[in-house]
Structure 1
Amino acid sequence: MSPNIVGRVREALRGGQRVDPDALIARLAAVRRFLEAADGQLPDTQLVPAHTLVERAGTRLSLSRDHTVVALAGATGSGKSSLFNALARFELSPVGVRRPTTGVAHACVWGPLDGATRLLDWTGVLPRHRFVRESALDGDDESALHGLVLLDLPDFDSVQRSHRLEVDRLLGLVDLVIWVVDPQKYADRVVHSSYLREFHRHRDVTLVVLNQADRLPPAELPRVLADLRRLLDADGLDGVPLLATTAVDPGGITELRATLECTVAERQAALLRLAGDVDTVVAGLAELVAAEPPAGVPDAGPASGLNRALAGAAGVPAVAEAVEGAYRHRA
């Protein structure tokens, strides 16, 4: 693999940001305390995202940290399944002229299946749609991807409502999402307004690829990529890696494969995803909690408890401790 490609991939990734597992667990505990303090103070219906976060995060953290679950998500005709097969170097997910072809999620696991089975059970991928990418014939060719669990999702714009519901469910569980768009529909309103903009707090675990780049004249590709970059920036996804791919040429997925190798090696995607989930939930809860009430107000106690718990969920104590430590170090 070219050193230039590896350098570009590392530069495009999240700039070295890491999530401390203990700090993440502390934030989740603060969300749990918030829910306890909010009992009887706020409508239950408005606390559903927080309850869902606590449950999902607890389950994901109890499962394999050695595996990274990556989803290929895209619209009809974007070539997700062809990209999935190209990365696996096998025809695992059905590809057809009549779309949509992928009605259920398919999974490919690199390396031994031990540890990934419970993850796949949790995501709900059926056993008959699970594949293991491990062969003595490969030698060390696939070792850099050991720990990758790659999912090929149904089309999110499918006419089948069950397909769309399955996509939405899985997007809430996976560690990293690769959005696959094509030159014809990369500016489609549905993908931007209903999906990409919703992931603006998950920039660290979001990747966008312009697939089927071979269908564009070489002179047109930079223009289309620049226009797609403009749309992503407007979606709040500035800085998210954007790659051009093609499944018909092995060299057309080199950068994407390098990105996946880096992601798997760092084992941070699951933590980054959960940290983004906490950010999203905290932002929603903040709208439900008023500012700190004046002293002497009868309801100051419950409100103060809510604010303290919310501050913990937002990571305020961790930031304060870091600032204090930096100040002492400089002194």
Structure 2
Amino acid sequence: MIEQFKQQYQDLKQWVEAALQDGWLSSSDLNRFQQIEQQQAETLFAQQGQRPLIVAFFGGTGVGKSSLLNRLAREDIARTGVQRPTSQEVTLYLHEDYQLGKLPDELPVEHTRIAYHQDESRRLIAWLDMPDFDSVEQSHREQVEAWLPYIDWLVYVVSPERYHDDVGWRLLQQRNAKHHWLFVMNHWDRGSDPQLEDFRQRLQKEAFDTPKILRTSCRKNGGDDDFPQLEQTINHAIEAHGLTLLQQLGIQARLNELHAVEQALRQRLEGFGRPEVADAWQKTTAEWFNEIEDALLLNRTALKQTLLAQEQLSQSIFKRQTTLPASLPTTKQVIEQIWSERFNDLISDLTTELENLLGQHDIPVTPYAGPLSDIPEKLQSTFEAQMESSVIKALAKPGTAVQRFFFKITGWLSWFLPLSAAGWAISHIISRFHAGTQGEAHFLGIDFAVHSGLLILLAWFIPWLAQRKMRPSIAGTLSKGLAEGIHAAVEAWKSEFESLWLEQEGSRLSHLEALKNRPSPQ
């Protein structure tokens, strides 16, 4: 079970660190994970895989923990009374078969007193007397907290005067499921049955359904007590359940805690994918971009008026081309007149509002912060590319298809009709001239010449005038291209923000999938 816990812990640690690196978890989540105890009691002993059941006397100042250990050992192995009114060290009493190895750094050797014995009947239990948990000395309390993860069985020692100690009850609440428990009311010669019953009821409120409470007194002539049952209770548990099973309670508690942390992190990550947040993201970007599009179209309208005025002054004959006439601004100049630094500021404001939106819904901003910071520059590049493409396409095919058709037809008629009229006039002149030389008709006069000239002139002027009317406007064509470019750019922006959301959503789901595929701690 120890190896199982180590593997589960390392697997979950790697997952937490990966999620933390991508910004889905915070340092507080990592701290919560790191608070799971990893200490293994096996590491205290030189023989790996072999150790006794570690049973510790735990309690406040003056309750007689050390006296209980001395009475149990039948010798003074723990300093008591005047020598140590407040416990300042740890005393460990164990069989000589279990030699201690190098203690972890949080368990300093200089504060550890070791007493070995050769009693085979006590071989499976190591008794530990810990410092007073309620000491004013911070180091004493730190020693207690450092030793607790290594302990299998806690004997909580109280006295009739001090069984209501708040510090002790807080530790009971925190470590209820991590140890086996036995309760001792020491100095029983000064106690009473109502106090014992009150103590029992308090324990039951802390989820100890049937707490085992022993009455002891370490004074001479203290009367009969339950001290003989102290060691006997634990020995019977070893016989009934086995040493290994009793040692595994702490590991199972850690596995349970690991599972609880995993479930909490899973639920936290799942909670980031609420549909209403995605809808709010899409709605916010759509509203902002619609406003930005309207502002861009206003700039386009102003530019169109300027171009129309310039076009009316221009007398150049229209030629279909993919670039603007020299008298009009270039595509780059047009884009510069449409786009301004103000729009970069608006997009930056949008990214700030989206970050606030995420914060309001308790969703981590970190996964989105990097991509959002690159957005203004990326959107401007997208805008310029869309505008240039749309303007070139619009100028390649100015006006509507009907305009272009009739413009082509009237252009063809503007030379075909005058030539046809001139051909008719010439053929008629030749025909009448031949008839006049034969005396068959009169020669044509000035009236015919005038009328023929007017006919030829009208045959040219009417198509030419129609062509002028049909000619697509450069300003109108450019304005149409700008409108299409603006709309295309805004749609591309919306897609960019939607892709950003989907990309981060994919990252979140991949972490959830990785967590789902790892073995469960239970």
Bucket of the pairwise TM-score, normalised by the shorter protein: 0.7 to 0.9
CA contact (8 A) 1:289 1:303 kept: yes
Q: Deviations over 1:230-258 (max 9, x none)?
A: 21122233344322222236854111110
**What is aligned with 1:301?**
510
Stretch moving more, 94-103 or 142-151: 94-103
The share of aligned pairs that are identical, in percent, is: 23
- Are residue 39 (structure 1) and residue 17 (structure 2) matched? yes
Give the superposition deviation at 1:125. Answer: 4.6
Give the letter aligned to residue 276 of structure 1: A
Q: Where does structure 2 lack aligned partners over 5 or more consecutive residues? A: 20-24, 274-501
**What is aligned with 1:277?**
254
**Structure 1 CA distance for aligned equivalents of residues 110 and 211 of structure 2:** 31
Q: 1:291 to 1:48 in 2, by over 3 A?
A: closer
SS class of match (2:520): helix
Give the superposition deviation at 1:269. Answer: 3.0
SS class of match (2:81): coil
SS class of match (1:150): strand
**Structure 1 CA distance for aligned equivalents of residues 83 and 257 of structure 2:** 37
SS class of match (1:184): coil
**Structure 2 CA distance for aligned equivalents of residues 274 and 231 of structure 1:** 27
**What is aligned with 1:90?**
75
CA contact (8 A) 2:266 2:512 kept: yes
Give the superposition deviation at 1:55. Answer: 4.2
- Are residue 158 (structure 1) and residue 135 (structure 2) matched? yes
Q: Deviations over 1:226-285 (max 9, x none)?
A: 211221122233344322222236854111110232345521332111211222343244
Q: Deviations over 1:193-225 (max 9, x none)?
A: 2x11111222x5222211111222xxx32x222
**What is aligned with 1:312?**
520
**Structure 2 CA distance for aligned equivalents of residues 58 and 103 of structure 1:** 22
SS class of match (1:107): strand
**What is aligned with 2:265?**
288
Counting only pairs closer than 5 Å after superposition, residues 77-116 of structure 1 correspond to structure 2 as 77-97=62-82, 100-109=85-94, 111-112=95-96, 114-116=97-99
Q: 1:200 to 1:290 in 2, by over 3 A?
A: same
Give the letter aligned to residue 304 of structure 1: E
**Structure 1 CA distance for aligned equivalents of residues 42 and 510 of structure 2:** 32
Q: 1:197 to 1:149 in 2, by over 3 A?
A: same
CA contact (8 A) 1:49 1:281 kept: no
SS class of match (2:155): strand
- Are residue 257 (structure 1) and residue 241 (structure 2) matched? no
1:56 to 39, 54, 67: 39
- Are residue 201 (structure 1) and residue 177 (structure 2) matched? yes
Give the superposition deviation at 1:38. Answer: 1.7
CA contact (8 A) 2:41 2:150 kept: no
Rg larger for? 2
**What is aligned with 1:129?**
113
- Give aligned pairs, total: 276
SS class of match (2:208): coil
2:60 to 56, 75, 82: 75
Q: Where does structure 1 lack aligned partners over 5 or more consecutive residues? A: 1-20, 135-141, 316-331
Q: 1:58 to 1:76 in 2, by over 3 A?
A: closer
Q: Which has the higher helix share?
A: 2
After TM superposition, the score normalised by the length of structure 2 is 0.47
CA contact (8 A) 2:93 2:126 kept: yes
Cα-Cα RMSD = 3.1
After TM superposition, the score normalised by the length of structure 1 is 0.72
Looking at both structures, which has the greater relative contact order when contacts are Cα pairs under 8 Å and sequence separation is at least 6?
Answer: 1
CA contact (8 A) 1:183 1:224 kept: yes
- Are residue 148 (structure 1) and residue 125 (structure 2) matched? yes
Give the superposition deviation at 1:108. Answer: 0.7
Give the superposition deviation at 1:30. Answer: 2.3
Give the letter aligned to residue 201 of structure 2: R
**What is aligned with 2:465?**
none
2:168 to 157, 177, 191: 191
- Are residue 214 (structure 1) and residue 201 (structure 2) matched? no
Q: 1:149 to 1:208 in 2, by over 3 A?
A: same
**What is aligned with 1:226?**
197
**Structure 1 CA distance for aligned equivalents of residues 102 and 236 of structure 2:** 21
**What is aligned with 1:14?**
none
Q: Which contiguous aligned blocks of 4+ residues in structure 1 show a shift greater than 6 angstroms? A: none
Stretch moving more, 229-238 or 66-75: 229-238
SS class of match (1:233): helix
SS class of match (1:246): coil
Give the superposition deviation at 1:106. Answer: 0.8
Give the superposition deviation at 1:178. Answer: 1.1
**What is aligned with 1:320?**
none
CA contact (8 A) 1:80 1:152 kept: yes
**Structure 1 CA distance for aligned equivalents of residues 112 and 177 of structure 2:** 34
